Amino acid sequence: MRMQKEMKLLLSDPPHGASFPHLSSAASGSADFSSLSTIDAQIEGPEDTVYANGIFEVKIQIPERYPFQPPIVSFATPIYHPNIDNSGRICLDILNLPPKGAWQPSLNISTVLTSIRLLLTEPNPDDGLMCDVGVQIQ
């Protein structure tokens, strides 16, 4: 039931700079999103950053225990960023469970995408996956 609500909200009021081309076409019918396990999203590169005018493909995997477990999110588009490795994995606290992470069931896909876009604007080189990239931006 929660996934149904989240998907409808993502389509009717997507987070700034994010879109869901595959969901949009599925929603034209009366799609059942409750069994959805993967979401393909596109994130626009934030203005006034090196990523401006870029469109980045992001894959979101929804675990069976969502929202009690965070989604697994990765970049499908290669990106040069200290907090994103060559496999597309993202170092972001809300993508991990406590005690090392900050995921809470009250968070949602929209919050995750907004946080990822913010990470593109404000990298965290002190907690990087790609140390050589982090050194270059400091």
- Report if residue 128 sits inside a domain: no
Taking only the tens place, the pLDDT of each residue in 32-67 is: 666 679 999 999 999 999 999 999 999 999 999 999
List phi, psi (to 5°) of 84: -135, 125
Q: Which residues are catalytic?
A: 91
From 85, 84, 90, 54, select the one nearest 72 (Cα to Cα): 90
Give the CA angle between residues 127, 106, 97 to the nearest 5°: 40
CATH of the domain at 43: 3.10.110.10
Half-sphere exposure of 27 (CA within 13 A, CB side): 15
Residue 47 to residue 54: CA distance in whole angstroms: 10
- Report if residue 7 sits inside a domain: yes
Which amino acid belongs to residue 102?
A
Instruction: Give the model's confidence band at 1: pLDDT under 50 very low, under 70 low, under 90 confident, else very high.
Output: confident
Please state the domain count of the chain: 1
- Report if residue 36 sits inside a domain: yes
From 31, 28, 8, 32, select the one nearest 108 (Cα to Cα): 8
Q: Show the domain range for 54.
A: 2-122
Q: Is pLDDT at 25 greater than 60 in this prediction?
A: no
